[in-house]
Amino acid sequence: MRRIIFSLLLTFLVGHLASAQDINVSGVVKDLEGEPIPGANVFVKSQPTSGTITDMDGHYEISLEQNQTLVFTFIGMKTVEINVENQREINVVLEEQLVNLDEVVAVGYGVQKKSDITGSVASVDFSELEDQPIASVDQALQGRVAGVQIVSNSGAPGGSLAVRVRGIGTINNADPLYVVDGIPVSDIDFLNANDIESIEILKDASASAIYGSRGANGVVLITSKKGGLNEEARVNFNAYYGTQQVINNWETTSGSEWYGIQEELNNTRTSALDLSIVDPNQNTDWFDELTRVAPIYDVNLNVAGGSEKLTYSLSVGGFGQEGTIKGSEFQRRTLKLNSDYHVSDKFTIGSNINIQTSEQESILEGSYHTGVINTAIKLEPVVPVWNNKETGEYGYSAFTDYPNPVAQIAYENARNEKLNLLGNIYAEYEFISGLSFKTTYNQNSYRNDSYDFEPVYYVNVNQQNVENEVSQGYNKGDYWTWENVLTFNKSFNRHELGVMAGYTMEEGTYEWTSASKKNIPNEDEALWYFNAAADGDYVSGNASEVGLMSYLGRLNYSFDNKYLVTVNFRADGSSRFPEGNKWGYFPSLALGWKMSEEAFMSNIDWISSLKLRAGWGQIGNNNIGYYPYQTTMSGNAQYRYLFGPEENFDQGYVVVNMRDQDIKWETVESYNLGLDALLFDGRLQSTIDWYLKDTEDMLVGVPIPMYYGYEGGPVSNVGSVRNTGLELSLNYKERVNADLRYNVGFNISTYNNEVLSLGNGQPITGGSYYGGSATRTEEGQPIGYFYGYKTDGVFQTQAEIDNHAAQVGADNAGLEPGDLKFVDTNEDGLINDDDRTFLGSPIPDFTYGLNGGLNYKGVEFSLFFQGSQGNEIFNAMKTHLYKFDETNKHKDMLNSWTPQNTNTDMPRLDGNDINNTNRTSDRFVEDGSYIRLKNLTVGYNIPEKFLSPVGVKALKVYFSGQNLWTKTDYSGADPEIGQRSSTNYLSRGVDIGTYPQAQVYTFGVKMQF
């Protein structure tokens, strides 16, 4: 009996031990097209921290106990779980996951699963934009993100863009904060788009409060490409070449048309023009003389990979673009290196280096009198380019003082050279599972050299230079930050907790110097330096420094994977503010509810995920200069004065900034409600947001009495602005079969902007042009709206003139039928400044984007439309082209009122113009709405069977077109009008001859080895 029991026990134990023995399982992981997937994760479900990854052929091998479950995962693919049982070979096919909710995105000082985000965060996968001919990263985002409006300030090579996240919250600098691989920067024009992996945009305060005093205008987080652990080295080559051309020309008169208009004007002029000195058959299209078909190219090479401990990514790139306007050009070269080294399972170090050099040649822009494009539009067509080309004698106007723009380009040699260095080093240590500490040192430095040489020349008395002059400028900046962040993540039962606490220090120093000298004996370019010049010293310069100290923290909590809470807090102490106001405190709170995880929604199969979000927060804006709380003075050379009996020149000083010792942050308080939905097994992704954003303590100039001896008062925190809007994004992806897939997307954003207070209530004018100011900012209206007179057609009879409000003098004496009729808006019987009123706004009612893509058997097709609706443009060029003077004329003037042509809104030709016809009015305010085919790309992926014999893994050839079609009612060259310069914030939508966008055609190739 004892022997029988022992035998049974032995049999049981042997069987049990046998069942617990490890077995080896191997196989291959492929996609639906049968291609192997290298780098896929394979692990036992009960042991997620240990496992293996597939090799370059998709092969894996793993040891595990019988009756375990294997899990197969890969980024962008659906997770597969298989019960092993007694299988020794398991081959797996992974399907593409249309939306990966477990994907992590950058949120500032860390990452977070997309499914757990409670704030308003938009993500952009940059791999979809690599085929586009873009000079700057922000240009690629135009129209692709709801709530982010991007408008070109200039279409010139290297030109800037105005980026506005959820409207315009201040009359001051409203640019967002850019953070590149954790490094805060003020702009991203130096970045190579090919180096970017993804972009996240933090739009509401609950998301951007972690950046405190710099998050008021939104935060753009940019993550660069990296290599992967155990990843075989891959080499990617991408290049394109193409041409650019101007889309539209201005509708100006020919030589004979201009001549005929001048003859008519002579009939009413007190002093007639002597038209005998010009040739009516001369027909110079000045704008056409300036433009050209210009090349554009981009070449990039990237090598990335990794071993068991090291990851790396090295890329070099070169971009070149000649402008469609002669005399403008931009060249950029980039070098980028990312590396991470896992010293041990707990300790990791890494570095990131980004070096960029650029050269830019530019024409004079932004001037409403001598700007090259502005002049080309206004100069009479009867003026020849050359009086004598063989002797180099340029043509010039016999009537105006406008310069010959072709000569301007020839004689003005302005160029700018810039070096950018952006980098960091970091060390991260994991004390225990879930608890880690990371310290990072960031450095952002630039050196900017500008050169300008103006030779001796003579076109006419109004366009000449009697002494050659060389000017040079040097501008440098160094900004470092030191960040220390402690992170803790823990899951227990139904709770998930994430805590981040950090401390940062930042300091920046900036210097600039400008100098010029005259009379270089030889005008050879090799001698364009100060030591070759004889006299005329002029030197100016300045220096500034800024510092910031911050404490920051974030708490993420999730209960039962349904209920989410995120709390952010940051305290900033800045050198920009006086004692008592140096510190600002910026909290935020956001809540999320994953409704789709509730039991009452478990039977709704067509809803994959549904999440409700609500957020509140306070953030700040410290883009206000370096010393606003101090009175500063300048002692430039122009402030020298004669003193004493010997009348010696002594240096004088003037006040350039009066202080407000109580100045503090501009603070933005915002509220956000959002709903995220994934429908139909993830095919349809939808996000809708409503926001309210109030700017308080906006800095506004305060008027002071003139006896202070200073025309501008200090800026003080007395203004407030409100922005509200709705945002909707829809994206649908469908994989029909292994050969065919397609996608469509749409986003739309509404904008409502209102100034709530300017403190003393005094309006602010802006948008200056040759005839006055086009914009006005006042309480109850949007920032920078167009302000002027309304018109009501033209007078048809003398009776209409007699019965109209006093427009000229007390009784309209001198007005005639055909003169322009101005509206008496306040109905006081007088037409004067009090009748000026709201004429429109450059802020659109809504903006939108529409994209679509199709991939069939290696053939790729995509298109993208972008548009703006409800915004107006002040066409300042028409204020010149409609003048009754000698300048060039708009073709509209060929339809001017005459007794025989009364069915027109164009007033009669009046050489004396006692009516002041071209005062700021709605005649020059046009509908700036447009829709534009921003990009169209067609590509073909060469089948692998043709590539593998020559060692190429992938090869794609493609054609891309930019700005191929535009529908607009705007009569100017381009409806995309930003602000005149990066600092002229109240000139938005005022067209004084803006450098237009180009139509671009490129052919490219992408290869992987």
20, β-bridge pairs: none
pLDDT higher than threshold 60 for residue 7: no
Window from 267-276, 322-331, 533-542, 737-746 with minimum mean pLDDT: 533-542
HSE-CB at 747 with a 13 A cutoff on CA atoms is 23
For residue 135, the model assigns a pLDDT of: 80
For residue 310, the model assigns a pLDDT of: 94
For residue 297, the model assigns a pLDDT of: 97
pLDDT higher than threshold 90 for residue 78: no
Q: Is 370 left (phi over 0), alpha (psi -120 to 50) or beta?
A: alpha
For residue 127, the model assigns a pLDDT of: 75
pLDDT higher than threshold 50 for residue 495: yes
pLDDT tens digit string along 890-944? 999 999 999 999 999 999 999 999 999 999 999 999 999 999 999 999 999 999 8
Q: Given the structure tokens 């410290």, which residue do they identify?
A: 622
pLDDT higher than threshold 90 for residue 985: no
Calculate the average pLDDT of the chain: 89
CATH 2.60.40.1120 fits domain 20-94:
yes
Amino acid at 329: E
pLDDT higher than threshold 70 for residue 301: yes
Q: What is the DSSP letter of 996?
A: P
pLDDT higher than threshold 90 for residue 4: no
The pLDDT of 312-335, averaged and rounded, is: 95
Write out the DSSP string of 275-310: GGGS-TT----HHHHHB--EEEEEEEEEEEEE-SSE
| 805 vs 85, residue with greater confidence | 805
Window from 182-186, 529-533, 716-720 with minimum mean pLDDT: 529-533
| Band of pLDDT at residue 98, cut at 50, 70 and 90 | low
pLDDT higher than threshold 70 for residue 711: no
Highest mean pLDDT among 95-99, 132-136, 778-782: 778-782
In percent, how much of the chain has pLDDT > 70?
Answer: 93
pLDDT higher than threshold 80 for residue 706: no
Strands (E), 702-739: 715-735
Start-end of CATH 2.60.40.1120 domains in the chain: 20-94
Window from 29-38, 161-170, 314-323 with minimum mean pLDDT: 29-38
Q: Is 57 left (phi over 0), alpha (psi -120 to 50) or beta?
A: alpha
For residue 635, the model assigns a pLDDT of: 67
| 656 vs 572, residue with greater confidence | 572
542 CB burial (10 A radius; 0-12, 13-18, 19+)? middle
pLDDT higher than threshold 80 for residue 102: no
For residue 637, the model assigns a pLDDT of: 58
Please choose, from the candidates 940, 945, 934, 775, the residue with its C-alpha nearest in 3D space to the C-alpha of residue 866.
934
